[in-house]
């Protein structure tokens, strides 16, 4: 058994188009290093130069946000399911439009 | 006293009802706060009323002004009602893949609607919003994602109501959208009881909704402060539909799919407490009823069929 990782559309260029890939590791950091050995460049899209999780990336272990489980130090075990998603709180379109109107981006 | 001087005065003070059949044990209890009992049938009435009153008090809104609000539904309906009663014009920018019931209600209230194409993704919505804003610099945007009155509505009303009705509350669970409900209610409850667990449930939509969003173009509402939360769950469409149906079948509650997602997270923490032998009173928010979502097709057929029909829709 391994850890199943769900990849969002925008990052599938790193996985040859695959929606899900498998990896291993005791922590999220280990898992991302393992994935990067086969899907080069993926890790750099998720982790900033400062070594933290990218602000606009959400990663979930068994549907729970890893930021509340130790972030990159979150513990993983075989059979876990990891989901990577772009951050879109509040309904993607409304918020994108609202942010634009408010001049925040 | 259940008599009010006007509809606006009837906002809030919603019932908190026990869910004895869904609760795992007499020591681990689930409670639903029925926000669908607000004037236009959703939790957003609280935020809309507080944001308008806040803008009036600050002199940002004067009679006859036009309010512009990008919204995927409930906030628009709440604002449409408040705007009608307070004498404002409302223009809503919304994605074209929201349910038709919401659009019909908005039109009935006299709101004007500008659609942003669902398939064009957020980049197109952003471009369109900027264009509207540039053409109408006098329109007032309340901006629910960054308006402190949104969170304050819940700090001043939802939080105190919950603790008044359930002093033994241990967990509070709500949906994460603008984050206003969780931030406001969460801060109030944490101040009164540092041990309280504040739990977010966010909808995980089908792939079409996330589209080709670049990782660098993500959005996090300005109101969001992760330190208020204890945990945060992502709930997929199937789990949300399953719980939505379970709430009707087991407890008689007819709710929208976002509440199904919230109930999923609430049941999760309740069963965890049961396994660990802890007492728990888990209260969650019923953001709205199911009426506005019937046309999605998500209430009939098998779970798989419902999931397929909701794919690509903003169901929360």
pLDDT in tens, chain A (105 residues): 699 999 988 899 999 999 999 999 999 999 999 999 999 999 999 999 999 999 889 999 999 999 999 999 999 999 999 999 888 644 444 555 555 555 544
Kindly state whether residues B187 and B240 are assigned to the same domain. yes
Three-class DSSP category at A43: helix
Among the ranges given (B29-38, B55-64, B123-132), the one the predictor scored with the smallest mean pLDDT:
B123-132
Q: Is B309 part of a structural domain of the chain?
A: no
Q: Rg of chain B over CA atoms, in angstroms?
A: 19
Decide if A60 touches B, using CB distance below 8 A. yes
Cβ separation A97–B146 shorter than 8 A: no
Residues linked to residue B101 through DSSP beta bridges, in sequence order: none
Kindly state whether residues B110 and B169 are assigned to the same domain. no
pLDDT confidence of residue B69: 84
Q: Which residue has the higher pLDDT, B47 or B308?
A: B47
Alpha-carbon gap, residue B85 to B83, rounded angstroms: 6
Domains and CATH numbers, chain A: 3-101 (3.10.20.30)
Q: Is B26 part of a structural domain of the chain?
A: yes
Q: Taking residues B274-289, report their average pLDDT.
A: 98
Interface test with B, best of A59, A81, A97 (most B CBs within 10 A): A97
Kindly state whether residues B133 and B165 are assigned to the same domain. no
pLDDT confidence of residue A92: 47
Kindly state whether residues B162 and B297 are assigned to the same domain. yes
Kindly report the backbone phi and psi dihedral angles of residue B30, in degrees, each rounded to the nearest multiple of 5, phi listed first: -105, 140
| DSSP H/E element including B283 | strand B280-286
Cα distances from B170 to residues A67, B190, B230, B260, B270, in angstroms, run: 22, 10, 12, 20, 10
Q: Taking residues B123-145, report their average pLDDT.
A: 79
Q: Taking residues B92-104, report their average pLDDT.
A: 79
Alpha-carbon gap, residue B255 to B288, rounded angstroms: 6
Question: Among B112, B141, B170, where does a domain finish?
Answer: B141
Cβ separation A90–B211 shorter than 8 A: no
Kindly state whether residues B55 and B98 are assigned to the same domain. yes
pLDDT of residue B212 exceeding 80, the answer is no
pLDDT of residue B313 exceeding 90, the answer is no
Cβ separation A95–B116 shorter than 8 A: no
Kindly state whether residues B54 and B100 are assigned to the same domain. yes
Contact B202, B232 (CB under 8 A): yes
Decide if B109 touches A, using CB distance below 8 A. no
pLDDT in tens, B61-84: 999 999 988 776 789 999 999 999
- Confidence class for position B289, pLDDT limits 50, 70, 90: very high
- Structure pTM? 0.92
Interface test with A, best of B43, B44, B70, B145 (most A CBs within 10 A): B70
Kindly state whether residues B81 and B110 are assigned to the same domain. yes
Range of the domain at B115: 44-141
Q: Is B146 part of a structural domain of the chain?
A: no
Kindly state whether residues B216 and B177 are assigned to the same domain. yes
By C-alpha distance, the chain B residue nearest A85 is B210
Decide if A62 touches B, using CB distance below 8 A. no
- Confidence class for position B183, pLDDT limits 50, 70, 90: very high
- Which of A46, A56, A94 minimises the CB distance to B70? A94
Chain B CB contacts of A58 below 8 Å: 234
Q: In this structure, what CATH number is given to the domain that contains residue B117? A: 3.40.50.1100
Q: Is B216 part of a structural domain of the chain?
A: yes
Kindly state whether residues B30 and B70 are assigned to the same domain. no
Distance from CA of A1 to the nearest CA of B (A): 23
Cβ separation A88–B145 shorter than 8 A: no
By C-alpha distance, the chain B residue nearest A48 is B216
Decide if B192 touches A, using CB distance below 8 A. no
By C-alpha distance, the chain A residue nearest B117 is A93
Domain count, chain B: 2
pLDDT of residue B137 exceeding 80, the answer is yes
pLDDT confidence of residue B116: 76
Kindly state whether residues B60 and B31 are assigned to the same domain. no
Contact A50, A58 (CB under 8 A): no
Q: Establish whether B84 is a catalytic residue.
A: no
């Amino acid at each position: 058994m391994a850890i199943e990782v769900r990849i969002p559309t925008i990052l599938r260029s790193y996985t040859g188009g695959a929606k899900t890939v498998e990896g291993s590791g005791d922590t999220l950091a280990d898992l991302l290093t393992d994935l990067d050995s086969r899907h080069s460049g993926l890790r750099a899209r998720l982790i900033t130069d400062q070594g933290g999780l990218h602000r606009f990336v959400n990663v979930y272990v068994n549907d729970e946000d890893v930021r509340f489980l130790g972030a990159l130090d979150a513990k993983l075990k075989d059979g876990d399911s990891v989901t990577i998603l772009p951050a879109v709180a509040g309904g993607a379109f409304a918020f994108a439009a609202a942010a634009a109107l408010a001049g925040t981006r | 006293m259940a008599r009010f001087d006007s509809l606006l005065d009837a906002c809030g003070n919603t019932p908190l009802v026990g869910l004895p059949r869904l609760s795992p044990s007499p020591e681990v209890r689930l409670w639903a706060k029925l926000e669908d009992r607000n004037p236009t049938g959703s939790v957003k009435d609280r935020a809309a009323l507080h944001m308008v009153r806040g803008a009036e008090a600050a002199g940002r809104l004067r009679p006859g002004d036009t309010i512009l609000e990008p919204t995927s539904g409930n906030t628009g309906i709440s604002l449409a009602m408040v705007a009608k009663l307070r004498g404002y014009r409302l223009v809503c920018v919304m994605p074209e893949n929201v349910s038709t019931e919401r659009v019909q209600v908005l039109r009935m209230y006299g709101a004007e609607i500008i659609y942003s194409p669902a398939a064009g993704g957020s980049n197109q919505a952003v471009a369109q919003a900027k264009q509207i804003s540039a053409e109408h610099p006098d329109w007032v945007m309340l901006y629910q994602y960054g308006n402190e009155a949104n969170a304050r509505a819940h700090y001043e009303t939802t939080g105190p109501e919950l603790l008044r009705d359930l002093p033994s509350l241990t967990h509070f669970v709500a949906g994460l959208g603008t984050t206003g409900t969780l931030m406001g209610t969460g801060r109030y409850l944490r101040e009164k009881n540092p041990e309280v667990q504040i739990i977010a449930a966010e909808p995980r939509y089908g792939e079409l909704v996330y589209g080709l969003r670049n990782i660098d173009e993500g959005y996090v509402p300005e109101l969001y402060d992760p330190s208020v939360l204890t945990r945060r769950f992502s709930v997929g469409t199937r789990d949300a539909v399953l719980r939505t149906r379970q709430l009707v079948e087991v407890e008689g509650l007819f709710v929208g799919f976002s509440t199904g997602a919230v109930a999923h997270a609430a049941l999760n923490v309740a069963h965890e407490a049961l396994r660990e032998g802890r007492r728990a009173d888990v209260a969650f928010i019923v953001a709205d009823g199911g009426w506005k979502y019937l046309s999605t097709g998500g209430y009939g057929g098998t779970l798989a069929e419902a999931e397929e029909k909701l794919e690509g829709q903003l169901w929360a």
